Amino acid sequence: MQSLRDIRQNIKAIRSTQQIMQTMKMISSARIRKAQQAMDNARPFAKKMLEMVADLKQEVLAFPALQEGEETWAERFFVNKTGDPSKIGLIVITGDKGLTGSFNAVILRAAVAFLKEHQDQEISVFCIGKKGRDFISRLRHKNIHIVYESVGIFPKVTYAHAELLGEAVMKEFFEKKLSAVTLIYNDFKSMGSQRLAQYEVLPFTLQAETQKKDETEFLFEPGVKEIFRILVPRLMKANMYRVLLESQAANLAATMNAMDAASKNAGELAEALGVTLNKVRQAGITNEILDIVNGAEALNS
């Protein structure tokens, strides 16, 4: 049986850990408000960029000059017939730290499933977050290559981080002739839950194009192709910025929930040890009383 001193030390250590968890919860709670605001501000811009590119898609693909020769720069973003089927890309966005519940584990399980499914293909991996970078670097598979990594950017994501990621993805997509690029991350659903998201970011799949468009003809200046070449990279970077902000908010929410649950568990454990402490102390007092009584009886006999 543990001594009173050992139990008191355990209770003290648990209470100290509980205070750390409560502090981390408060920090995450304060940061998530700012992260949510930035995420909400980025969503309308990314949506409008998507609509503008969708409006230009048909005009660009139908442009007479695009029918000459091999697949054009514009067509690569939507059709990508010249992409090498044996080469694909994967963007994995995780957190930089642990203590987030199942936040990182869910993403890494999905990444492992993806890598197993495409193990015969050459995979260019873009790692955002220390947890994902460290995990994938340990795989050491001949077909898996980390071509870009960015760690330590959370919880202070800026548009510059999205620009660097977007440029790296598009450069790899064109130079290595990747057939597709898949994104895996946790989407922010609410303060209490996050949702695993996995979809192709290249080539583009624009749902906005299915909406009914006006039959009015527009005159584009300086030209459809020029505008398209400007908008598409910006769309890619804006989408990456939105995704990074979504992941950042989801990470902070997961940390807050994990620390809240851990703090409650620590409190329950400390209370249970308090009960054990009282029982041990009472048992010690009882034994001392019995010793006194037995000693008194021995003297009287």
> Quick one: pLDDT at residue 38?
83
The CA-based angle 206-217-69, given to 5 degrees, is 60
Q: Which of 3.30.70.1560, 3.40.1380.10, 3.40.50.300, 2.40.110.10 is the CATH number of 24-210+218-259?
A: 3.40.1380.10
Tokens of 212: 């009914």
> Quick one: pLDDT at residue 70?
41
What gap in Å lies between CA 168 and CA 290, rounded to an integer? Answer: 78
> Quick one: pLDDT at residue 66?
46
> Quick one: pLDDT at residue 127?
95
> Quick one: pLDDT at residue 58?
67
> Quick one: pLDDT at residue 208?
43
> Quick one: pLDDT at residue 210?
41
pLDDT per 10-residue tile (average), the chain, 301 residues: 79 86 83 81 78 70 50 67 85 90 91 92 93 90 90 89 92 89 89 85 64 53 72 85 90 87 85 85 82 78 66
Q: What's the pTM value of the predicted model, to 2 decimals?
A: 0.79
> Quick one: pLDDT at residue 116?
92
